Structure 1
Amino acid sequence: MTTASDPIAKKMRTARRLLPNFTAKIVNPQTSRKLPWGQYGEIVIHGFGVMHSYYNDPKRSAQVLQLHGDPDAHGTPRKWMHTGDEGYLDPDGYFVITGRIKDLIIRGSKNISPLEVEACLFEHPAIKQAAVFGVPSARYGEEVAAMLELDETYGGTIPSNTDIQAWVREELSRFKTPIFISWLGNGALGVLNEWPKGGEREAA
């Protein structure tokens, strides 16, 4: 929900605030434990507008609609809808969505949002398009990989993988740095980005 007095930056860069009669929280996607303000996790919602169930699909309903053991003021168990969206609450109470839980890269015990790494890569002057995804790792479960497309207006030579990795490390934590990097021809990522997430992994 937004109001006329909300700053334009909040309207443009966030998913706004909650509507009246709704409650939401950010939880660990694996344990459903509530996370502190500002941490990344899954957005879950409770309120009058939350659906009762999926029609004739109890298995999917049980996956999406869950009891967390936190009753309301009347002692009634609250059913939370797991949205599948990853995000966090900013200091002003606005929700910021950073991706889909199913697309997260899980490296060891760390959850990595591909969109966050892609946003960092897009800031590099040599990069026109970027697709970040997880690839299997015997040590960590998954490692971060990136497919990149060179900006045709870039005047220099294609940056080395080491240069790209150093660029990411300047902005993000070291564990979010792509280990595997491939450069594709112009237009190739436009095709890959039409696939469901995971198509990049298959192409790699």
Structure 2
Amino acid sequence: MTTEVPAGLRERKKARTRAAIRDAAMRLFTEQGYAATTVEQIAEAAEVSPSTFFRYFPTKEDVVLTDDVDPAVVAAIRAQPPETPVVDAVLAGMRQVFEQLTEEEWAGERRRQRLFDEVPDLRARQLQQTVAAVDLLAGVIAERLGRPADADEARTLAGALVGVTLTFLRPGEAVSFHLEDFDRVRRALISLRDHLAPL
């Protein structure tokens, strides 16, 4: 008789394996450099096979590029009360997720950002992630507005939110967005709305 592993246990095991691969990769990237580190070395350090590595990350780049925070932010935005204005719901969701990050998670994000600064190939693909972030944010904004996922209104607001957020990044810091910056983003969005209104 075959005993099926409960879904919750299976998901936790997958999350542990994924975290082990990422931790091993980041450690090796720090110790011997990104370019010198191979998938085979990462798999060995994580005590998995190379084929298991590729089940979790399509390429070595994806170990660094995959952002675990974005899906959590989308879930937090969805969880905001339906009567909350869209911008407030987005900012509240973002704040909620960032406030709950542990020091270990912040340290991991700092390592990730340093690699973007140091590795040109990663930096180029990071630009693609900005577009993906707009897509993700536009989807959840469209849900809250009751519009189709590709609605121009949702994409415009998502682009404005991402663009305004980028203006407050602090040069030279590995993780340069701080909790107090959420209020600055909100004020900037109100200013943008007021300046655009007469047009």
Query: Normalised by the size of structure 2, how large is the TM-score?
Result: 0.31
Larger helix proportion of the pair: 2
